[in-house]
Structures are given as structure tokens and as C-alpha cells.
């Protein structure tokens, strides 16, 4: 019975350490996702400028 208690205690500690490491990794991934989202977001002004550039390109006869 004593060996079982020690084994389960070790397993519990290892599980807690793994959960802590996964929590750190999730925070890193969320930060990367926020950074990517900031780079990809197109503002209304950029969209209007892009539409204007496309219209100007259509007017050019190549």
C-alpha cells in the first residue's frame, strides 16, 4: 500500500508539472496569435486605398 501511495504521489506531481508547462506554452501561442492578428488586420483606410489603387490599375491600358 505504501508503494502505491508513493507512486500515485509521484504521478500527481508529474501531472502538475506538465500542466504548468502546457499553460506556459498556451500563453506563448496566444501571444504569437495576437502578433499575427495585428499584422493581418486591414483598417478601413487601407482597404479604401487598395480599392483606389485597383481602380487606377484598371484604367491603365497595357
Q: What is the pLDDT of residues 7-62, one digit of tens each?
A: 999 999 999 999 999 999 999 999 999 998 888 777 778 888 999 999 888 888 66
Domain that holds residue 45: 2-59
How many domains does the structure of the chain reveal? 1
Predicted TM-score of the model (pTM): 0.60
pLDDT higher than threshold 80 for residue 4: yes
Confidence of residue 6 (pLDDT cuts 50, 70, 90): very high
With DSSP H G I counted as helix, E B as strand and the rest as coil, what are the percentages for the chain, rounded to 5? 90, 0, 10
Question: 9 to each of 4, 12, 15, 16, 52, how far by Cα in Å?
Answer: 8, 5, 10, 11, 66
- Residue 62 has what pLDDT? 64
Amino acid at each position: 500500500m505504501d508503494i502505491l501511495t508513493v507512486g500515485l504521489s509521484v504521478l500527481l506531481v508529474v501531472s502538475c508539472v506538465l500542466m504548468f508547462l502546457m499553460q506556459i506554452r498556451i500563453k506563448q501561442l496566444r501571444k504569437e496569435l495576437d502578433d499575427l492578428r495585428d499584422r493581418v488586420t486591414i483598417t478601413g483606410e487601407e482597404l479604401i486605398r487598395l480599392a483606389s489603387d485597383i481602380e487606377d490599375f484598371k484604367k491603365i491600358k497595357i
